Structure 1
Amino acid sequence: MTQIVKEVASEAEFSAVIDCLWDSYYNPYTPFMNILFPVFSATEEGYAAAVSDSKARLWSYHKGDPTSHWIYVTDNSGKVFSGAHWNFHEVSPYVNGVPKLKETWHPEGQGQEFATHILNQVYGFRGKRMWRPHAQLDMMFTYPAQRRKGYGSLLMKWGMDIAERMGVEVLVEASDQGIHLYKKFGFRTIDKVAVDSLIDNPSNTWRRYESDLKDLMFWWMWKPHGGIYEEGKTDLPWVAKLHE
């Protein structure tokens, strides 16, 4: 059957897409999952509870955010092969500055403080640059058995077509696995970012989380509307803003 991209329209579809997200990010394991969706008990029950919590939380965010679009690849059977989350901002959420976040899904304590510390770095880095209308690929994932079948390109084209019609620049924070695909769609690396988790007198809990994120890096990739970034030639709008 021909594979197509569909946008999530029901909570049942959404649940199936998030199942794909979990299987993808656990094969191989992506340490950032423990920041976003912590598993508090190393049992099948603990894992199931974390999946259930993530579905409720992400569905709530999605329903309350008009910029949020969850999409997936299927063959009309309804089965999910691959999925992605895009945001399309007609007005930048950072136009009035970068809000300070407090993570709430860890219990009070050093785990919550660590997650808050890391998330504010990621969002702070993004917010200082994306002060104009823009599109962002937030997540992309594929069931391990369905990889290398072109599904990522289908999900990318869906979002890039919308960004082109909007006339906006596009951002993705890439892992090393995704860089090649994003380059095919005209993205270029602007910065390589290493997360800083160092504090004075860390507790053992902090050290455990820090160890899980050891050597975590991501590549901040950007595509201006109507072209491709060329170092020394393409104007970087956030640099110009600093000098206004």
Structure 2
Amino acid sequence: MTLKLSVVQSATDFDKIAPMDHDAWKIPYNPQLKHFRPQFPTREQAIAYARENSKCRFEDRDPEKQFWLKVEDENEEVIGAAQWAVNIPAEGAERTVASWYPEGSEEREFAERFINGLWGFLGERVTRPHMVVHVEHRYRGAGRMLIKWGTAKADELGIETVISSLHSARGAYEKSGLGYIEEIPPSRDLEVENPSAKWKELQADDLSGCLMWRPVGRDFVVGEDKAPWQE
């Protein structure tokens, strides 16, 4: 079986990427995803939203700093996709507003506390320019290809690679040269007095993650390497 990795050049590619993206995130279950995306009653509606949203972001991207990739099989079906970006940390970054949830809803408040708590955790540690992956899927070797492309690009640019990973994906990143640095705990902001039943339901998911890191120019060496914020 031959897999082909290429950089996305046209927004029309998302007609194939969006359905794959939607279905791939179902297995294994991703407890964080619903806080980053609106929820829809049907698969078709969810895919339509993701397709149009991705097309808009693709058209508005900085092509020197943001890269969409796809992996196709021998039948030209998309079986993997990723968005890599060069991230240059800046002070006073704006807080994320979860506008995909109704204003005043508990879902919106929870999502904003979770997302901004995650960004705050990363921002306290990762203060140098780095490569970061926003979307990644693991299927028939496609995931390894997507990760390796990003780490190679980081080496070309002379910057580190930093990834906020789900626990289920940790092994794939370690096999691709990244090292596990520490666990990312759920934000302390998620603890509230007298939480409602809905809030408790949202808290019931395991929202922790893994902070992965790779130095410039080579793979992480367990027992020898430390991330710069650990030194």
Asked whether the two chains share a fold, i.e. TM above 0.5, the reply is yes
Instruction: Place the TM-score, normalised by the shorter chain, in its bin.
Output: 0.7 to 0.9
Further displaced range: 55-64 or 18-27: 55-64
Q: State whether residues 194 and 215 of structure 1, in contact with CA within 8 Å, keep that contact through their aligned partners in structure 2.
A: no
Q: Within 5 Å, which residues of 2 pair with 1:10-89?
A: 10-41=10-41, 44=42, 47-66=43-62, 67-75=65-73, 77-89=75-87
- Unpaired runs of 5+ residues, structure 1, are none
Correspondent of 1:107 among 102, 107, 112: 102
- Contact between 1:98 and 1:123, CA under 8 Å: does it hold in 2? no
Aligned-partner SS, 2:39: coil
Question: What is the CA–CA distance in structure 1 between the aligned matches of 2:96 and 2:215, rounded to whole Å?
Answer: 28
Gaps of 5+ in 2: none
What's the counterpart of residue 91 of structure 2?
A: 96
| SS of structure 2 residue aligned to 1:112 | helix
- Give % identity: 26
TM-score for both structures, normalised by structure 1? 0.82
Give 1:106 shift: 0.7
The residue that corresponds to 2:145 in the other structure is 154
Question: In structure 2, how many angstroms separate the alpha carbons of the residues matched to 1:95 and 1:205?
Answer: 35
CA contact (8 A) 1:88 1:135 kept: yes
1:201 aligns with 2:194: yes
Deviation at 1:101, TM superposition (A): 1.8
Match of 1:124 among 96, 120, 131: 120
Please, which of 137, 144, 165 is the counterpart of residue 141 of structure 1?
A: 137
1:153-204 deviations in whole A, cap 9, x for unaligned?
2112211211111011001112222222211222111110121322112233
Aligned pairs, number: 226
Label 1:40 to 1:18 Cα distance change in 2 as closer, same or farther (>3 A): closer
CA distance in 2, matches of 1:48, 1:201: 37
Structure 1 distance, partners of 2:59, 2:12, is 14
Deviations 1:70-126 (A, max 9, x none): 21111465310111121123xx1x222443222111111211111101100111112
Q: CA separation in 2, counterparts of 1:227 and 1:155?
A: 17
Distance verdict in 2 for CA 1:83–1:22, change over 3 Å: same
Counterparts in 2 of 1:77 and 1:56: CA distance versus 1, 3 Å: same
Please state whether the residue corresponding to 2:184 is helix, strand or coil.
strand
More displaced, 100-109 or 76-85? 76-85
Deviation, 1:37, is 2.0
Question: Contact conserved, 1:98 with 1:127, CA < 8 A, in 2?
Answer: no
Once the two structures are TM-superposed, the CA of residue 232 in structure 1 deviates from its matched residue by 7.8
Q: Does 1:167 align with 2:162?
A: no
Cα displacement (A) at 1:24: 0.8
Amino acid at match of 2:197: N
* Structure-2 separation of matches of 1:115 and 1:164: 34
The 3-state SS of whatever aligns with 1:208 is helix
Partner of 1:226 in structure 2? Answer: 217
